[in-house]
A = this chain, B = another copy of it.
Amino acid sequence: MTLPRILAFDVFGTVVDWHGSITHELESLNILPEDVRAADFVRTWRAGYKPAMARVMAGELGWMLIDDLHRIILDEVLDEYGVDLDEARRRHLNLAWHRLDPWSDSVPGLTRLRQGFTLCSLSNGNLGLLANMAKRAGLPWDLILSAEVFRAYKPHSATYLGVANVFDVEPSDVMLVAAHQDDLDAARDCGLRTAYIERPAEFGRDQQSKDVSGSPANDFHAESLEDLATQLDC
């Protein structure tokens, strides 16, 4: 098959380790009651994300950046776990999503892939978050694209087709790289190619129950971004 020219990457979970990074931040802050595990707190925070985006897309909430959605959910989770935290520390903690560490293969894998392809992010994270993250982590994007540009969150077709429009190419000239099959399925429905990346520890090293088998419909299936680079001859 002809290879696509553009690789578009999901970010949270695929390129960066949100669970490990935020668990580590929370443990350093030492703000949780003794009976609350940081690893669980983070999963609860993250679990609020999809329902919150769904409320925005349903028109219940106006258009919101992920920073603001993260903050709404954080306030709820802090209440739920009975944690008292002042405004300055809430703001700081909320921005932990800007400080996520990449998986160990991400920077070397992206660096190799960038030799042969144009690399962009395609994340529901907002532009400022993605730019701060990329600068801190050294992610070598050619272009940072976000739901913020298209005013729609994935899996809305406006995001996947938006990448093709930005680069003035056919959808089949774009391949989505993601660790989430639902994201890849929605991209394929729009005519994009798909590459599945296994991230068995996405939801925590203490809970490796994630199904990483991927769909046979994907064009590529890789263990890591370095593995994908090898498969793509980079």
Contacts and interface: CB of A to CB of B under 8 A. Distances in A.
Interface of A: 67, 118, 120, 126-128, 130-132, 134-135, 142-145, 148-149, 166-168
Contacts of A126: 166
A130 B118 CA distance: 12
Nearest to A134: B142
Nearest to A68: B168
A72 to B, nearest CB: 16
A127 B166 contact: yes
23 contacts: A67-B168, A118-B131, A118-B132, A118-B135, A120-B131, A126-B166, A127-B143, A127-B145, A127-B149, A127-B166, A128-B143, A128-B166, A128-B168, A131-B142, A131-B143, A131-B166, A131-B167, A134-B143, A143-B144, A144-B144, A148-B149, A148-B166, A149-B149
Contacts of A120: 131
Helix, strand, loop or mixed for chain A's interface?
helix
Contacts of A143: 127-128, 130-131, 134, 144
The interface centre, meaning the residue of A127, A135, A145 with most chain B CB atoms within 10 A of its CB, is A127
Nearest to A114: B135
A114 to B, nearest CB: 8
A135 B116 CA distance: 11
B135 A142 contact: yes
